[in-house]
């Protein structure tokens, strides 16, 4: 293991001679298979200057898989959007189309109020 001091920032000194530093970085939760996901689709207008956006919440998994799913949805809807913190934001009112796409990908999807 390389002596990467950046990983140890904030680490308190240990007097234990058998102590081994173990990094917890990069231990993201494993992505659940589509049938185990419980996604919620809703129309969101909060803090968007009256513009509508489709919000998909409830994704459990890695950021890479979240961004990949977001890219698929944005491409099939032909619009922009973003993905972060387990949420996918699609610009515009695409709730029905997003639900159809997710169901075709075998995700469990429900429409929630918004």
Question: What are the φ and ψ backbone dihedral angles of 80, each rounded to 5 degrees?
Answer: -90, 180
Query: Where is pLDDT greater, at 81 or 17?
Result: 81
pLDDT tens, position by position, 31-77: 888 888 899 999 988 877 888 999 999 999 899 999 999 999 999 99
Residue-wise over 95-106: b if at least 16 C-beta within 10 A, else e? bebbbebbeeee
Is residue 49 one of the residues assigned to a domain? yes
Q: Residue 14 has what pLDDT?
A: 63
Q: What is the mean pLDDT of residues 1-7?
A: 58
Is residue 107 one of the residues assigned to a domain? yes
pTM recorded for the entire structure: 0.72
The number of distinct structural domains making up the chain is: 1
Is residue 6 one of the residues assigned to a domain? no
Share of the chain above pLDDT 90, in %: 51
Is residue 93 one of the residues assigned to a domain? yes
C-alpha count within 13 angstroms, C-beta hemisphere, residue 3: 0
């Amino acid at each position: 293991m390389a002596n990467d001091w950046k990983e140890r920032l904030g680490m308190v000194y240990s007097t234990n001679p058998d102590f081994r530093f173990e990094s917890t970085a990069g231990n993201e939760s494993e992505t659940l298979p589509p049938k185990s996901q419980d996604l919620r689709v809703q129309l969101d207008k909060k803090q968007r200057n009256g513009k509508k956006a489709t919000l998909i919440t409830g994704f459990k998994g890695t950021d890479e898989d979240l961004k990949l799913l977001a890219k698929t949805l944005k491409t099939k809807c032909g619009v922009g959007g973003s993905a972060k913190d387990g949420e996918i934001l699609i610009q515009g009112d695409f709730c029905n189309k997003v639900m159809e796409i997710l169901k075709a990908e075998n995700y469990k999807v429900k429409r929630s109020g918004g």
